[in-house]
Amino acid sequence: MNHLHRRMGTFSLTMVGLGSIIGSGWLFGAWRAAQIAGPAAIISWIIGMIVILFIGLSYSELGSMFPEAGG
């Protein structure tokens, strides 16, 4: 039986907080892209969505292959 131990220390909580702060900055990316590229910015967001989809699917496949905490 596999026992996963889940804990979050001070460093982990700090990194989650920083990731949330930095991660919200991408919302300004849509505004800036629309200013520069106009309607063509939608195409770049679709291309980015497809790329991130493949990255996410790769991570989910690896996560199911190696079910270890902190992996």
| Residue 4, domain member (yes or no) | no
Residue 5 domain-assigned (yes or no): no
What is the C-alpha to C-alpha distance for residues 10 and 16, in angstroms, rounded to an integer?
A: 10
**Per the domain annotation, does 20 fall within a domain?**
yes
The answer to whether the CB of 20 falls within 8 A of the CB of 31 is no
55 confidence band (pLDDT: 50, 70, 90): very high
- In the predicted model, is pLDDT for residue 33 greater than 90? no
> Domain range for residue 20?
10-65
Confidence check: pLDDT of 53 > 90: yes
Tell me: pLDDT of 71 over 60: no
Q: What angle do CA 30, 34, 35 make, to 5 degrees?
A: 120
What's the pLDDT at 66?
A: 80
Instruction: Please indicate, yes or no, if residue 49 is contained in any of the structural domains.
Output: yes
How many domains is the chain built from? Answer: 1
Whether 1 maps to a domain, the answer reads: no
pLDDT at 24 exceeding the cut of 90: no
